Structure 1
Amino acid sequence: MSGTTMVFLIVLISVGGGILSEMYKRRLEYKKLDSQSQKERDQLHAELNALKSRVAILEQIVTDEGYQVKKDINSL
């Protein structure tokens, strides 16, 4: 094996190893961000369900006949 070939292989292996190392680091970072975003999605889903429940209760109160009668009396 000539010296030029050996230098070429060393450079190729070094650059390839650096690229693989960088790809692995980015993959780990992506997994970390994905798990954080999953937690955030779960929290937002829980908050959305709570708000839907509150809106349903408010709709029930507003459509109640007693509320309408009270509103009519107060407007007099």
Structure 2
Amino acid sequence: MSGTTMVVLIVLISVGSGVIFDMYKKHLEFKSRTLKDNKEANEQVAAVTAELLELKQRVQTLEAIVTDSSYSVKQEINKL
């Protein structure tokens, strides 16, 4: 192996390892950003789910009021 070939190989190995290291750093940054975005999305889903449960409870309460027999009697009295 000649000296020029060795120098070229050393440069290629150095540049190649630098590129691979940068790619790995970018991968870790992307993974960190993705995990952060997933956490925020999960928090939003939890908030919407809690609001949905609250609304379902309110609808059940309203249904109970409307189907109550005393409510229909009051409606009939008000019609008179």
Structure 2: gaps (5+ residues): none
- Output one character per residue of 1:16-66: Cα deviation in whole Å (capped at 9) or x when no partner: 011100000011111111221222122112111111100000000110111
1:31-50 superposed matches below 5 A: 31-50=35-54
Letter in 1 for 2:51: E
Give, in whole Å, the separation in 1 of the partners of 2:26 and 2:77.
Answer: 72
Q: Report percent identity of matched pairs.
A: 30
Give, in whole Å, the separation in 1 of the partners of 2:79 and 2:34.
Answer: 59
Give, in whole Å, the separation in 2 of the partners of 1:68 and 1:58.
Answer: 13
Letter in 2 for 1:49: L
Structure 1: gaps (5+ residues): none
Letter in 2 for 1:15: V
Give, in whole Å, the separation in 2 of the partners of 1:70 and 1:15.
Answer: 79
Asked if 1:24 is matched to 2:65, the reply is no
2:62 to 46, 58, 64: 58
The answer to which of 1-10 and 26-35 deviates more is: 1-10
* TM value normalised by structure 1: 0.87
